Amino acid sequence: MRAFIVDRYGKNDNELRAGDVPEPTVGAHDVLVQVHAAGVNALDSKIRDGEFKLFLPYRPPFVLGNDVAGVVTRVGARVREFKPGDAVYARPGKDRIGTFAEFIAVHEGDLARKPKRLTMEEAASIPLVGLTAWQALIERAHLRKGQKVFIQAGSGGVGTFAIQLAKHLGATVATTTSTANAGLVERLGADIVIDYRKDDFETVLHDYDVVLHSLDNETLKKSLRVLRPGGKLISLSGPPDPDFAREMGKPWILRPATRVLSHGIRTAAKRREVDYSFLFMRASGTRLREITSLIDDGVIEPVVDRVFPFESTNEAMTYVEEGHARGKVVVKVRRTEVP
């Protein structure tokens, strides 16, 4: 099967190689999915460049890609929830990535049926950002009606989903974006829109309950100052903390490193009586089914900027790396559409 492959880690001129690889092996609890579309995420570039090789030691060569929508073609002997012909979507488990390919084997526990209202391309845009927003706002922050949340980079992939989810939960939502994207985030439900090129969010926002951070280290430090005592700062871009090492199942290897990496922000957060945590989203078919219900009920709308052909996967990654995408970018792997 055709796939896009990481041959080596590195940032300089390190394009994915288009090549042929064996079709995935299907275990007893696995579902073989013919990929129709795959979402492209900033995480893909970080994995390719080796930024996560300490935590996610993929051994090159390996197939990249973390979002999938497609059709079931075969199921393992113990699979009961899915059958050939089912339209499905998933964020494969962290050890089972590889959606930039014609087929992928996904554990049944990470899979859900595709929302009926969405095309394959729209569905492929959802899993990683949807699960990230869900785990940050619902599972980690316990966001509830009447609270105030600051979602950074509101016009990005996570931001466009998180704004809608936060409004559904009854929160007041503030976000940052450019003037060109102000109308988009307002339509999604943002109550306070700050043009990051003109205004400093630190001078506008005060006593917030939750900050969902996805930008640089300087923005992380400033985010502490807009939170009330007892507020929660949840970072998607680091630094990783010791709890992350524990979640990865490698506490004795990673805990010392994460303790050092996050010492400064954890100390500053403690001084301000704020809770800091790093979130690395985990796969979950159960949560995806809940997200599917929200989508099919019209609560959440996908935001897709561009759809690239499969052969232009490297160009799609470059477009995401430039940082100007409104919502998600997707590659269309298979041309035939299935409802």
CATH number of the structural domain 129-278: 3.40.50.720
Beta-strand ranges (E) seen in the chain are 2-6, 17-20, 30-40, 62-63, 68-75, 87-90, 103-107, 111-113, 148-151, 172-177, 192-195, 208-213, 227-235, 275-278, 304-309, 328-332
Residues 114 and 71: their CA atoms lie apart, in Å, by: 9
| Predicted local distance difference test score (pLDDT) of residue 339 | 46
Long-range CB contacts (within 8 A, 24+) of 321-325: 321/42, 321/45, 325/156, 325/157
**Residue spans per domain, the chain:** 2-125+303-332, 129-278
Side chain identity, residue 300 = I
CATH T-level assignment (fold) for domain 2-125+303-332: Quinone Oxidoreductase; Chain A, domain 1 (3.90.180)
Is it true that 2-125+303-332 and 129-278 share their CATH fold? no
Q: Which residues of the chain have pLDDT under 70?
A: 251, 335-339
Is it true that the peptide bond before 239 is cis, omega within 30 degrees of 0?
Answer: yes
Is it true that the peptide bond before 339 is cis, omega within 30 degrees of 0?
Answer: no
| Predicted local distance difference test score (pLDDT) of residue 37 | 98
Residues 150 and 16: their CA atoms lie apart, in Å, by: 35
- Judged by DSSP in three states, 244 sits in helix
Distant-in-sequence, close-in-space partners of 68: CB < 8 Å, separation ≥ 6? 33, 35, 37, 38, 39, 89, 90, 91, 92, 99, 104, 106, 124, 127
| Predicted local distance difference test score (pLDDT) of residue 52 | 87
| Predicted local distance difference test score (pLDDT) of residue 57 | 77
120 phi and psi, to 5 degrees?
-60, -40
Alpha-carbon distance values, 57 to 95, 135, 315 (Å)? 9, 23, 25
Alpha-carbon distance values, 163 to 140, 266, 284 (Å)? 16, 26, 21
- Judged by DSSP in three states, 292 sits in helix
